[in-house]
Structure 1
């Protein structure tokens, strides 16, 4: 009803008729459905009815549509509808206009009204006091550690008084200095969106968004290095354990932040349970904070059971302050403060916090790991999910466990709740405290009452003792990768010897260091190697298995993939070493000597070592029932051919043990090789001169040649017929199959190509799962690019035998030895140097060894070029050409091209085969490609990517 001229008028509700059958849906559901459409579809849907017109012309809707299709540089056009339609027109190649809006009466939506209110509300009228976070001036390091570090937040004044940023970091001055510099926008989009700073400031002045765009750029030091000179890390936060990592190795840790009124950071816990400091240079910010484990009302914590990935479902900062904060009783309210220019706030590890900009603001923040939170960071990285839930949600994460029993339960055992089957654990704070009983309500809600159980001893009890660090899925929410984590611990161990007690505790949480060291110690005792010294007690950071450098030996324990996978890897590696010795291959001098090998297993609490040379299967393995019926009785039950069968079945039938699982998980194969002198390529890459790098590429080409000319092994009583039976393939009419496996190259290619065909069936889902940086537009075209049947490639391999494939020649698996120093003046024109001068001399590096043959397989030789080009050469065409010129082998049969049809011409391009292998690779090889060639993210076809990355291969088709 409306009042018009003093008369009461009845206005009909137009919603039911305008929406038809859709009227049963709540407004928020309708908005969610419409947001899934394309901008053009939304524009057309607006013509259906008056109410649909209202829904389809909401600015928050068009903002989400725009951010979904935007990428690269974004320029705001005054409204999100206009911005989105112009972007969509640019993509679609059409034109559209934004007409003057229409207005309708007879429709009211509380949902839309609240959203509109949030878009246009001003925070000037809100009363914000100084809050209850303690303030300190000239805080000493001693007082900081005693009263605040790891305990509670504090607001510091005077820290930034001497910074140039105090005067230079105003919006006007930043526009003058960095107006054309693009900065990353942190917003609801999977795409990387940037805006020039001057365009962003223009947007800030005219926008009316409920959750405005927010500059939150972790790479500001690269795009605007001058900003780094305008501030220094406060002395209280200088200790940072991540400083042992190179800039490209360490996780994001510093951010340049700019946002308008109403913008901010919604509720979250900083990544990896790191601590943080944040200094405000202009504007005002309102902070709200809860201690670890106290989930704010309105927030839901999602913890994935499979990989421990943590996601937070939370309202925007503004929405929480408007809709949830007023409902809180005094005892449930968070710690609060209003941060003023020049003030620095410290947020301890694990604390929930939410930030709302009360006016346009500019700030800088950094996360850090110090001696106080180091163990918490290591715990958060550990595999599993339950401890991550408890770290963020506290007692709320304890499903089906009475709150009053939790302390007793965890003090004795934390195993029973682990058995609850669920894939995704959700913890929502709404009324959770009030649903609890007894005196625990006050303890759970009162933010000033610290939970005595939120400490590393309590939290570590929730680690899953059955999860293996090397085999468990690594959480995508971790701030650092799995290998990077081990490398970080290794570098800390070497570079900070005075803190090894603390580092050891963290390593035991993150990588179960104590268990692996006990295994290594037993292996050393059995083979009479020297015991691990203090420097040698942690595994090195490289590789997918625990690797220890003990004196002149390298000990690798096979863990990756489980026992069966590890067994095949060791057997194949020993098989390969024996072949090198028998043939006296030139490759032999570039492969480290094997000193010992065997199994270590845990039985009734004690470790036992059983040596193994790769031949007669020991009882400890025979009892696990890992041998197939077809291979029993062979001279060698495990080796290359059994590994091929295992790898072939792995995509569809994951590696598992048919015997006693609890027993088999306690058996680990191992190998001991001679330690190489020098350094791995990854450590000296940046110091090598071009000449030295070209020499290194030649070395790789020569050794690839030596590897690929090796004959495949012959194994008695194990024929292609046996293999076909194992793989479930149709029998062949080829009479040659009565001979050894290497007698029929065509059959081996058939198995190789059939394996690729299996992967092709799931390629779209795999690429979609990997996601960014693989462009979705190319994923849609991948089936069209790949062969209809991978067997169509068979003609190019006719008469060409399969080759040994290393599969893992990467920058951490190749060694270079330092040569004697040579006088620079006398020999500068005769030697390849790396440019490191010392006392007038230079050090010369000589390529020496290729490591780790546990991933050996057979197939197309081009497969070995892929990791070399992408990981070692980083896409350098010059280095790839140098490798191919010394490789000196053909990539296909010279005569096969004469028999090809027009449709099959592309099959004969080595570049096409390499691109297909990249797409079908088990690892995210495409991610490496799009990260190396950033410009290819805008490519229109796979052919374009093929030519850019692999076109060089086509110049080296027929060398023999």
Structure 2
């Protein structure tokens, strides 16, 4: 068993939460209207009957000329048409190619330098829909990422062997402090060096493909509640990188640590789903609660800028994290609009929830995300990271189960791969027939267990007498013939 190193300390404010600055237009939370004698909202006429959120949704459907016209009618509509999410939606929908980032989505779309943006006093407008994003964009992260309870701390290890990982750690989050420090990309990559080599190259940032130089300008100057996150799946080919163990791959840029080398999705060759990403983002950017695709595990290596992680195991008897709501088939996940909003409303409860794991993964460190674990991550500083999904033997059965029984949720495969499950089974049969047979046996036992539980629910446990039902009374049964009936 490797030694567990001590958790590093990060500076934090002891004097409480930092004050939120004044909204640039003077907008205040809606509660302030209770003491106000009048409000700018009175000037919007019939639109007063609509909730602020609906007004913003309607504005998102308009073009720029219409937004500017409506914004000139009164101060209230000026404030509504200055909402950044409205202009972000318009920018993305319009697929603007040649642009200069000018600090806000509105100024960038209209190509307005700061001196051309008027400051209008809207201090008598009270709107949570307008104030909340500004508030969330300026909260201090420090109270949420420091003073982590001892029981919640993600273990920190220097390194792990392949055998130690499989025997003890495959189902547990942990942080390795040593392996990444050997990578050339850790030693050489900064935002500056990436710009000098790939500044004109386009990389995927959520719904847009931007030149890296434009994205770096955005990183340095934005006030988004949920900053745009560069998450590019094709960076290895775009950047001409060699990836592999250094003793086998000349000029390797990076390679998985020894404990993560085993990856059964590799049997698919060039038909494997997306599995490696370059991640770049400013402070406050990150990912809301999710599980990794296709029941895979993952590692996330930080090259620049620390990341805060909060994680929860999942299972049939476990609820999702506080503030997260999941559909019955787990295909749809609903959570607060932004990471900051979740932190404000649910972090304290989450920290008290059994199973909660938290940690800060610093520069040159790598974090393991076991298959099926919920996780939220936020950058504490401008960040560069590389992540990769993989299937170790401990989660081979889970991957087969997912590919077979949740085909509608399988993701990342190319369109010409019509049957990912069968392709994976064929690849495993050719390369690892014994492991495949064992995993399929475990999967069959799991399926039989599910059927047995269902039979017990429908018919009762074997040997139990049917409860007597008074004549004319109600019976929660499905007939006298004992046949299985599908219940919707």
The TM tier, using the shorter chain, reads 0.7 to 0.9
Aligned match of 1:217: 232
Aligned match of 2:380: 358
Three-state SS of the structure 2 residue aligned to 1:336 is strand
Aligned match of 2:202: 182
Kindly report which structure 2 residues correspond to 1:867-882, keeping only aligned pairs within 5 A, or say none: none
Three-state SS of the structure 1 residue aligned to 2:394 is coil
Aligned match of 1:108: 126
- 1:362: Cα distance to partner? 0.6
Three-state SS of the structure 2 residue aligned to 1:160 is helix
Tell me, in whole angstroms, the C-alpha distance in 1 between the residues paired with 2:165 and 2:98.
Answer: 42
Contact 2:102 2:108 in 1 (8 A): yes
Tell me, in whole angstroms, the C-alpha distance in 2 between the residues paired with 1:383 and 1:262.
Answer: 36
Q: 1:51 aligns with which of 76, 81, 92?
A: 76
- 1:178: Cα distance to partner? 1.7
Max Rg structure: 1
With normalisation by structure 2, the TM-score equals: 0.74
- The 1:476/1:37 distance shift into structure 2, 3 A limit, reads farther
- The 1:301/1:509 distance shift into structure 2, 3 A limit, reads farther
Tell me, in whole angstroms, the C-alpha distance in 1 between the residues paired with 2:349 and 2:38.
Answer: 32
Q: Which moved more, 1:264-273 or 1:329-338?
A: 329-338
Which deviations, in whole Å up to 9, do the C-alpha atoms of 1:102-155 show, x marking residues without a partner? Answer: 223322223322211222345467652466111112323332222220x22111
Q: 1:39 aligns with which of 57, 64, 70?
A: 64
Kindly report which structure 2 residues correspond to 1:232-271, keeping only aligned pairs within 5 A, or say none: 232-247=255-270, 249-271=271-293
- The 1:158/1:510 distance shift into structure 2, 3 A limit, reads same
Tell me, in whole angstroms, the C-alpha distance in 2 between the residues paired with 1:313 and 1:236.
Answer: 34
- The 1:237/1:158 distance shift into structure 2, 3 A limit, reads same
Matched, 1:164 2:187: no
Q: 2:432 aligns with which of 475, 484, 496?
A: 496
- 1:156: Cα distance to partner? 1.1
Kindly report which structure 2 residues correspond to 1:760-775, keeping only aligned pairs within 5 A, or say none: none
Structure 2 unaligned residues grouped into runs of 5+: 1-34, 244-251, 449-482, 484-488
- 1:286: Cα distance to partner? 0.4
Matched, 1:28 2:41: no
Contact 1:220 1:227 in 2 (8 A): no
- 1:218: Cα distance to partner? 0.7
Kindly report which structure 2 residues correspond to 1:597-636, keeping only aligned pairs within 5 A, or say none: none
Which deviations, in whole Å up to 9, do the C-alpha atoms of 1:310-334 show, x marking residues without a partner? Answer: 1322222222122321355624582
Aligned match of 2:160: 139
Tell me, in whole angstroms, the C-alpha distance in 1 between the residues paired with 2:46 and 2:335.
Answer: 31
Tell me, in whole angstroms, the C-alpha distance in 1 between the residues paired with 2:116 and 2:69.
Answer: 12
- 1:508: Cα distance to partner? 6.2
Matched, 1:194 2:209: yes
Tell me, in whole angstroms, the C-alpha distance in 2 between the residues paired with 1:479 and 1:107.
Answer: 45
Tell me, in whole angstroms, the C-alpha distance in 2 between the residues paired with 1:74 and 1:380.
Answer: 42
Contact 1:274 1:377 in 2 (8 A): yes
Kindly report which structure 2 residues correspond to 1:290-689, keeping only aligned pairs within 5 A, or say none: 290-293=312-315, 294-302=319-327, 310-315=331-336, 316-328=338-350, 330-331=352-353, 334-383=356-405, 474-475=407-408, 477-480=410-413, 481-502=417-438, 504-505=440-441
Tell me, in whole angstroms, the C-alpha distance in 2 between the residues paired with 1:32 and 1:510.
Answer: 45
- 1:98: Cα distance to partner? 6.3
Matched, 1:275 2:293: no
- The 1:32/1:324 distance shift into structure 2, 3 A limit, reads farther
Aligned CA RMSD, in angstroms, stands at: 3.0
- The 1:71/1:105 distance shift into structure 2, 3 A limit, reads closer
* Higher normalized helix content (fraction of residues): 1
- 1:309: Cα distance to partner? 7.9
Tell me, in whole angstroms, the C-alpha distance in 1 between the residues paired with 2:440 and 2:260.
Answer: 23
Tell me, in whole angstroms, the C-alpha distance in 1 between the residues paired with 2:242 and 2:232.
Answer: 12
Matched, 1:66 2:91: yes
- 1:366: Cα distance to partner? 0.4
Contact 1:50 1:104 in 2 (8 A): yes
Structure 1 unaligned residues grouped into runs of 5+: 1-9, 88-96, 385-473, 513-661, 663-960
Tell me, in whole angstroms, the C-alpha distance in 1 between the residues paired with 2:111 and 2:200.
Answer: 22
Contact 2:161 2:258 in 1 (8 A): no
- The 1:360/1:16 distance shift into structure 2, 3 A limit, reads closer
Which deviations, in whole Å up to 9, do the C-alpha atoms of 1:257-316 show, x marking residues without a partner? Answer: 11000100111000011100111011110000010143112222235xxxx681322222
Tell me, in whole angstroms, the C-alpha distance in 2 between the residues paired with 1:260 and 1:58.
Answer: 21
Three-state SS of the structure 2 residue aligned to 1:356 is strand
Tell me, in whole angstroms, the C-alpha distance in 1 between the residues paired with 2:440 and 2:214.
Answer: 49
Aligned length: 395
- 1:169: Cα distance to partner? 1.7
Which deviations, in whole Å up to 9, do the C-alpha atoms of 1:433-453 show, x marking residues without a partner? Answer: xxxxxxxxxxxxxxxxxxxxx
- The 1:118/1:502 distance shift into structure 2, 3 A limit, reads same
Q: 2:136 aligns with which of 106, 115, 118?
A: 118
Which deviations, in whole Å up to 9, do the C-alpha atoms of 1:27-70 show, x marking residues without a partner? Answer: 22322332233333322222233211111112232123222322
Contact 1:489 1:503 in 2 (8 A): no
Tell me, in whole angstroms, the C-alpha distance in 2 between the residues paired with 1:227 and 1:46.
Answer: 52
Contact 1:170 1:282 in 2 (8 A): yes
Tell me, in whole angstroms, the C-alpha distance in 2 between the residues paired with 1:86 and 1:302.
Answer: 42
Contact 1:286 1:339 in 2 (8 A): yes
Aligned match of 2:459: none
- The 1:504/1:332 distance shift into structure 2, 3 A limit, reads closer
Three-state SS of the structure 2 residue aligned to 1:278 is strand
Tell me, in whole angstroms, the C-alpha distance in 2 between the residues paired with 1:345 and 1:497.
Answer: 30
